[in-house]
Amino acid sequence: MLLQVRGLTVRFGDDVVVDDVSFDLDSGQRLGIIGESGAGKTLTSLAVIGLLPDTASVQGSIVFDGVELLEKTDAEMTLLRGNRIGMVFQEPLTALNPLMRVGRQIAQPLRIHRGMRMKAALDRATELCARVGLPDPERMARMFPHQLSGGQRQRIGLAIALACGPSLLIADEPTSALDVTVQEEVLKLIDGLVKQEGSSLVFVSHDLPVVATMTERVAVMRGGKIVELADTRDLLDSPRHEYSQLLIRAANSSDDDFLNLARPGKT
């Protein structure tokens, strides 16, 4: 078991924002977390990598590779983040440092966690640019974030997250800020890279069709709770919770409306 979350509860004052959440993730497995805004998806994933704001109080247990993360100090978590656990955020423009060339940003985790020299780390960063499908990687590595398109920035975010070959990648709405055409490319890229690296994936999104194609297991969250946790296939075929049924019915019917128009040869 790579990740084992038990009874995770996050509070802001008296507000319970994540409520008794438990799930397991095997090595190489992909878990989707779906729900509406305020459901606790992002806070759950932030809790796993220890990036919750200081005002949050956390209870429960998060065991990663046999180690309890909630007992770790900030300094100890820093050794894991960007190393064994990588993370990609929704808005790549705010996730990247605007004052640093992207090559250096990719090189950073390699220097910190692998102790690589700058020259070697930068060379590796260029390789990673190529790996995430950026054309002309030497030139790309010398760019600043504002010089790149949204899709290119998110590819850089992925390169940073994957630089140290993490066992777990957490992607929080990684394509929600992107155009549909770019979204498709980035999803394929995440899919391919996770497969090649053999990493586990936690994929957070509000978009059911996207989650359903990216993951093999899905946790449906609402009001801080996981209301249903099932294999993706089973969830789509026979959702048990009323809220999952609503989500799936809505996604299917908007799919159908679109497909009925787009299907060629039908009048």
Partner 1 sequence: MTAMFQTESLCRTFKLPRTRVLGAHASRRALDNINLTVNPGDRLGIVGESGSGKTTLARLLLGLDVPTAGSVSFLGETLPLADMKSFRRQVQAVFQDPRSSLNPRMSVADIVREPLECLNIEESHSARVDESLAAVGLSKEICARFPHELSGGQRQRVAIARALASRPRLLIADEPVSALDVLIRDEVTAVLSGLTTNLGLTLIIISHDLKVIARLCDKILVLHRGIAVEHGAVADVFRSPTHEVTQRLIASVPRMPVARNAP
User: Which residue is listed with tokens 């990036």?
Assistant: 51
* DSSP-assigned states of every residue in 58-88: EEEEEEETTEESTTS-HHHHHHHBTTTEEEE
Nearest to 49 by CA among 23, 87, 89: 87
Placement of tokens 């609402």 in the chain: 222
Per CB under 8 A, 257 contacts partner 1: yes
> Could you tell me the smallest distance in angstroms from the CB atom of residue 73 to partner 1?
37
Report the residue number, 41 or 131, with the smaller CB distance to partner 1. Answer: 41
Smallest distance, partner 1 to C-beta of residue 129, A = 22
Minimal distance, residue 39 CB to partner 1, in Å: 9
Rounded Cα distance, 143 and 155, in Å: 13
Element housing 261 (H / E): helix 242-262
Q: Is 4 helix (H, G, I), strand (E, B) or coil?
A: strand
Among 44, 90, 183, 199, binds partner 1 (CB under 8 A): 183
Q: Which of residues 79-138 bind partner 1 (CB under 8 A)?
A: none
Stretch that binds partner 1, among 8-16, 68-76, 94-102, 233-241 (CB under 8 A): 233-241
- Joined together, the tokens standing for residue 256 give 């159908």
DSSP symbol at 146: G
Q: How far is the CB of 253 from partner 1 (least distance, A)?
A: 8
Q: Which is nearer to partner 1, 174 or 239 (CB)?
A: 239
| Residues in contact with partner 1 by the rule CB under 8 A | 36-37, 150, 179-184, 206-210, 212-213, 232-233, 236-239, 245-252, 254-255, 257-266
